[in-house]
Amino acid sequence: MIVDKHKIEPDEILIITDSLGDIIEANEAGIKSIGVIWGVHDSGTLNRANPHLIVASPSELVEGVKSVIGV
């Protein structure tokens, strides 16, 4: 919905989430995702949806985002 409303391309979006369902939906929409394991789901569960990356702590997010978007 946001992609259509704001005319954003899926490859311009990165979702950071702790939810397996969010990662599945991001994949279906062609959106990159980073799973975080300090929330709802653990790394084993998040891995089932094939996120671009999983991080274990907030301190890993900056480098994780850079690696996923190619900076």
CA distance 15 to 33: 5
pLDDT, residue 4, reads: 84
CA distance 57 to 39: 10
pLDDT, residue 1, reads: 77
Q: Is the pLDDT of residue 15 over 90?
A: yes
Average pLDDT score over the chain: 94
Parse the chain into domains and list their residue ranges.
Answer: 2-52
**Average pLDDT of span 13-31:** 95
**What is the value of pTM for the model shown?**
0.89
pLDDT digits (tens, 9 = 90+) for 40-69: 999 999 999 999 999 999 999 999 999 999
